Structure 1
Amino acid sequence: MNTGIRAAASSIIGLAALGLLLFLPAGTLNYWQAWAFIATSLAATVLPSIYIARTNPAALERRMHGGPRAESRRVQKVAITGAFLALLGMVAFSAYDHRMGWSHLPAWLCVLGDVLVAAGLGIAMLVVIQNGYAAATVTVETGQHVVSSGVYAFVRHPMYVGNVIMMIGIPLALGSYWGLLFVIPGVVVLVVRIRDEESMLVHELAGYPEYVRDVRYRLLPYVW
């Protein structure tokens, strides 16, 4: 099946799953924050995916091949499972917060959350555009080379920067302060994933040790 068609089908299935994850815990369809979040996520993923499918279908294929079973390293299997659970818990709990009325966010803050979600997803897509080897799994492929320009000139793992921005934006977009608690385990999992990924890249990707010396920070400039 064509990569673009499979990507579209995957997006539709993901959208249906996201709807269930949002509206079942919320107990209502009258949840404008959830609808805005879905629309934002859809626009920020489908449109760039169409572009990547036309310009670099192999890169899109790599992004679609992910999940715990796709990982070859045990640490990565645990890390990606933890990341999925943190994300699912964040979304469902934020929706349940709406149902219980624990948080009362102003509309502008929810909109800001959507902006952060779009920015995080946009950064992730930009990484794929600038580095066609940016796969959903931790691996080194034949012919792969170090990318040190673009967003990679600022931090060594810009994809995960986008993930963190998105994680902060999701609870706000869904109108929940309490959902922000899930950012903590989400970031911890990313740190574990990054450390294990770099231990592999240093040994298996030519030029990566030099790149580490040139770009000092992994995730947040001047911090880590």
Structure 2
Amino acid sequence: MAHSLGRRSFEAIAQFLIFLAALIFLPAWSLRYWQGWLFFAVFSASIILMTVYFLKADPGLVGRRLKAGPVDEKLKSQKRIQTFASILIVLLILVPALDHRFGWSSVPAIVSIAGDVLVVAGFAVTFFVFRANSYTSGTVEVAKDQTIVTTGPYGIVRHPMYSGALLMFLGMPLALGSWYGLLLVIPMAAVLVWRLQDEERYLERELPGYPEYRQKVRHRLVPGVY
């Protein structure tokens, strides 16, 4: 079973990375795009290393993470939210690639590298979220024996995985060398807030102890802000 999970995981990663490469380099219409190559390398290495680690440390989490996206969501509201999120994620890569092709932006190399650092930081936050909460799923759901997690990043904000995602989304257009791509971070953040608010309503109904946890940890996404 472990071998099957590993195979399915790396097949899914391979398919996603092929799609990601196409999304970066086809609209850019050039392989002479160092920002695209560096971002692709950083993103690929991060996702592969995390998958290797959790296949050994927590294969159940990896299995739960294989189901994600609008099709796998059970709640109708989350299907709509994930559809918007999927479109915006594609645009976060597509717009910078087109920006590179047509020369709309002139982003300093140091800023692009800082964007990659933000992407890595986002993955790092996600890593610690997965370490703290084995029930972290790619869809909004509550497992039978699931309990409230209040340790690690969950002691700082209630939705730390979305905090990590926000860091990644902020870093992606910069890493790809586009100022215009940053404009998409605003609707992306709005969709994240929409998703977490809808998720909280579900968790209050389905996860015992969640209302008390909300009282204990006041901020949802950004410490001291929201």
TM over 0.5: yes
Percent sequence identity is: 43
| TM-fit CA distance, 1:119 | 1.0
The reply on whether 1:3 has 2:5 as its aligned counterpart is: yes
Of 131, 140, 143 in structure 1, the residue corresponding to residue 142 of structure 2 is 140
Match of 1:220 in 2: 222
Structure 1 residue aligned with 2:168? 166
**C-alpha displacement of 1:128:** 1.4
| 1:1-224 correspondence runs (5 A) | 2-224=4-226
Task: State the SS of the aligned residue for 2:71.
Answer: helix
CA contact (8 A) 2:128 2:152 kept: no
Distance, in Å, in 2 between the alignment partners of 1:66 and 1:8 is 15
- Residues 93-128 of structure 1, C-alpha deviations (whole Å, 9 max, x = no match): 111001111111111111100010111122123211
In the aligned structure 2, how far is the partner of 1:11 from the partner of 1:71?
A: 20
User: Structure 1 residue runs of 4+, over 6 Å off?
Assistant: none
Distance 1:3 1:159 in 2: 23
Is contact 2:92–2:184 with CA below 8 Å preserved after alignment?
A: yes
Counterpart residue type for residue 22 of structure 2: L
Quote the Cα distance in structure 2 between the aligned partners of 1:128 and 1:217.
Answer: 19
- Cα distance, 1:216 vs. partner? 0.2
In the aligned structure 1, how far is the partner of 2:212 from the partner of 2:21?
A: 45
Cα-to-partner distance string for 1:150-182 (whole Å, 9 max, x where unaligned): 000000000000110000000000000000011
Letter of the aligned partner of 1:189 in structure 2?
V
Gaps of 5+ in 1: none
What value does the CA root-mean-square deviation take over the aligned residues? 0.9
State how far apart, in whole Å, the 2-side matches of 1:7 and 1:38 are: 19
Structure 2: runs of 5+ lacking an equivalent: none
The size of the alignment, in residue pairs, is 224
Matches of 2:130 and 2:51, distance apart in 1 = 10
CA distance in 1, matches of 2:141, 2:213: 17
TM-score by length of 1: 0.98
Question: How far did 1:48 drift?
Answer: 1.2
